[in-house]
Every structure is written in structure tokens, then in C-alpha cells.
Chain A
């Protein structure tokens, strides 16, 4: 048994030695595999970051109360004071109809049109920030209902739509990552398969001789499978290193951006997980590609 393992180890190192003796060609193959693996990995990291970002925003949801047109600023002030005492509510911000109009004028650029209107069509609003510490997620909607039922409130609206859109986009991105990962995995298998095919063809004479002196298919197959294994695992490491560099380049701007939003968000890039999963995936794909090539070509080479 230990003899068997020793022989496997020898073939493993022998295959690595062969790659080493053709450094340029091997490096090109390994780089192709690395790039193919780093693309889905990078997109996965980005989409995971988007998810974590949207989970943070989950708690930062706001409720906008649109007040009835006939509510005076004084009544609104009273309502604000009353709501302030509710335990579910953390903070309130009142915006009069006039302020609403001014804000809309600035954001829309429709100043002239608004001036021509006989009266202000916009309601006064109160922006309510629920207190996350005192309130369960499920009861936010109850709070919305409760606020909606107030007589001076026309409509209470939870500002979640944009978040849902953001999540839909993220779901789409995740689906895209899956598709990309499948396609690029396939391309890794084919790239390695083709490389191994060429290796087999260049060793045709050797394979014939080995068959003549009694080598089994398994024996002849083994070094090629290990070659595929090395291509894959080394490609995985190249992918990991590329990911480290890319994340290093991205993290500065991302932190800047987050800082501008007053957030302490920073890129989380799954370094340890990727360090394991990329070479592992690479190795599996490499062996599969080699197996494909060996299965198709080895039995065609027979001594004559």
C-alpha cells in the first residue's frame, strides 16, 4: 500500500517536473485557467457585498407620512410631538408643503411649470425612522398600518421599493454569476482537455513503447491526469492572487465612496474561503478535462 502511494507521489512530482521544463507554455495555460476562474469568483464577491449592503439598509428603512392637505403646520407640529412619544419611533423629521415644493423645484427643474400652478399640489410630510432596537422587522408593517390610520395622515408609505429593486438587480447578478461560472468552468475543462490532448499526441511514440512493455491503460493515464490536476490547482492559485490584487485596487475607492455616504462599509472579499475553493475547483476541473482527453485519445494509440 505504501509502495502504491509512493508511486503516485512519484508520478505527481514527475508531472510537475514536466510542466516545469516547459515554463512558458505551462504558464500560459495556467494563466488562461486563472483568468477563467477569477471572473466568476470576482463577480461572486461583488454580489455578496451587494447583498450584505442591502441587508444593512434593511434596518435603515424609513416611513414617509403624507399629511392631508387641510392639516395646518400647527396641527402637524402637534402630531410630530405626539409621535415622538411612541416607543417604536426613533426619530422624526417634519417637512412642510412649502419645503416639499421647494425641494421638488430644485430636483425636477420644473420651476416655471410649478409657478404657473394655482396652488401647491404637494402635501406636507413627516419622515419617520423606526427604532430598530425596540421593534421587530415584522411589526414595521403594523406600525405603517397604525400610522396610516391616523386621521391627519393621508398615506403612510414604507420606502422599500428602491431596496426591492436593488435586490432584484442583485438576484439577476447572482444568476448571471452562476451562468458565467458554469460556462467558464466548461471552458477550463476544454482548455485543459485540449492541452492534455496535445501532450498525449506529442508522446505517442512513448505511449506505444509503454504499451508494448506491458503498461496498463491506468498506468499510462496517470501522469496525464496529474498534469491536468497541476494545471487546475496552479490556475486556482493564479486566480486567487489576481483576486487579491483586484480587491486591493478596488477597496480604496470603495472606502472613499462609503465614507461619502457616512458609512463604515468596506469590501469583504472572502480571502480564506477563496484560497481553498479556487484551487480545489481548479483541480477538479483539471482532472475532468484531462480525463476527457485521455478517454478520447489514449485507446487510439496502439502499437503497430
Chain B
């Protein structure tokens, strides 16, 4: 589902974030991406989300070769990927409902379908009762769950998460990881960057470990 072949990423200041990285993730697989800060985790996720492009090498997602994807098709490509951020990236002047609805509104879904799917996603993350609240009124763990609901609301085949438990206590972190497992169980390919080693040691999933831009 995600396929890196000899991928390099060099920044203009000559810093090489990825150096000849090759790995792949099967469809429906769940895996963790770990490594020290600066090992290239964020860069790797940015290449998959097409926030950045590789300097060299091939990135395949689904059957799509990302280096040949024209800029105007990027929005449509991104609709197939749900992304969960460490700092949630919620819109603070809109309700929980409107935040979760955003990907569906963008995709041009009709009104009724949006209501149905947003409530299903909020129900899944246990926040159905808070749909009218503004994000600011929620706790950190709840805000992260809103972010997850938004990432999955249009049922993308791939779910990426960048340090989703970075700011949460162990109890909440376990809950969040359990949510990801549930999505994986219905066939979503899940790829979670984290350095919460203690937590992921207890879970039975593959770890992709980066060290200085390569597989360790």
C-alpha cells in the first residue's frame, strides 16, 4: 500500500533527512514508525501526505507514483489519506461537528450524508454528546479524538498519525492507540509515528525504526 524505494530527501541547506530509504507497508497493515527526534519520521510522513516531495527515489501509495502526481491533483490524492496531528490542527472558531464535517464539505457531500457520517465518526470516538461544543471547551485527549474523527470521517484507506499521543498521559494514549487498532480491524492501513516506546512494546505490530534517515 505504501512503497518506498531508495528514497532521498535533501533540504536546500544540504541537510539530508532521508538517505536511500526503502520499505513497504501492506494493504490493511498497521505499523509504528519510531526513531529519535531528527531521524526523519516527520519527513517520511510528509512525503506520504505530499506535503513535500522526495529529492530522489520512488514513493508509491496505492498504485499512485507520487513523484509524477501533478500539483492540481494533490487535493484529490489527500482525500484518500486521513492525517492525525500531534497538535490536532482543529479550527477553533467552528464547532466539533463542523470540524469533523470539513473533509466531507470539501468533497462536496450532500447535507444529509454529512450529518450521518459526522455523527457516526463522533460516536466512534465517543464524542457524540459534544458535537455542539467548540474545540477550546474540550480536554487535550478529547481534542485529539476530534482530530481522529475528522481523519476517518470520509473513510480513507490510509490513516497516518504524527505523534498522536505526544501530549497525552499513558491512560489516554492507550485509548487513542486502541482507536487506531479498531480502524485497522476494518481494513484501514494505519501508520503511526511515535516515540512512546513503552506503549508500543505492549502492542503486536511491526515497528519501522529510523536512524539518521535510514532503516535501523
Contacts and interface: CB of A to CB of B under 8 A. Distances in A.
To the question of whether A and B form a pair in one complex, the answer is yes
Given A3-B108, A3-B110, A7-B108, A210 B102 contact: yes
Interface residues of B, number: 20
Interface stretch (A29-37, A175-183, A214-222): A214-222
Contacts of B102: 209-210, 213
B106 A212 contact: no
Interface residues of A, number: 20
B79 interface: yes
A133 B110 CA distance: 71
Could you say which of B51, B75, B91, B107 has the most chain A C-beta atoms within 10 Å of its C-beta? B75
B49 A212 contact: yes
B70 to A, nearest CB: 13
A70 interface: no
Interface string A255-298: 00000000000000000000000000000000000000000000
Given A206-B91, A303-B51, A304-B51, A214 B110 contact: no
Task: State the main secondary structure of chain A at its contact with B.
Answer: helix
Contacts of B75: 211, 214-217, 219
Nearest to B50: A303
Interface in B51-110: 51, 72, 75-79, 83, 89-91, 102-103, 106-108, 110
A204 B108 CA distance: 22
Given A206-B91, A304-B51, A213 B108 contact: no
A302 B75 CA distance: 12
A214 B108 contact: no
Nearest to B88: A209
A10 B214 CA distance: 48
Interface string B9-38: 000000000000000000000000000000
Given A206-B91, A303-B51, A304-B51, A212 B107 contact: no
A214 B89 contact: no
A214 B76 contact: yes
A166 to B, nearest CB: 59
Could you say which of A4, A209, A214, A216 has the most chain B C-beta atoms within 10 Å of its C-beta? A214
Interface in A1-48: 3-4, 6-7
Contact of B107 (A209, A214, A302, A303): A214
Interface in B173-216: none
Contacts of B150: 213
Contact of A212 (B76, B89, B110, B111): B89
A18 B128 CA distance: 27
Contacts of B51: 212, 302-304
B79 A209 contact: no
Contacts of A219: 75, 106
A219 B91 CA distance: 17
Contacts of A217: 72, 75
Contact of B78 (A6, A7, A205, A214): A214
A19 B91 CA distance: 18
Given A206-B91, A209-B91, A215 B49 contact: no
Contacts of A214: 75-79, 103, 106-107
Contacts of A213: 78-79, 83, 102-103, 106, 150
B108 A210 contact: no
A217 B102 CA distance: 15
Contact of A209 (B72, B89, B110, B111): B89
Contacts of A6: 111
Contacts of B106: 210, 213-216, 219
Nearest to B104: A213
Contacts of A303: 49, 51
Contacts of B108: 3-4, 7
Q: Which 10 A-B pairs have the closest CB atoms?
A: A214-B79, A214-B78, A213-B103, A216-B75, A215-B106, A214-B75, A209-B89, A303-B51, A206-B91, A3-B110
Given A206-B91, A209-B90, A219-B106, 7 more contacts: A7-B108, A210-B106, A212-B49, A213-B150, A215-B106, A219-B75, A302-B51
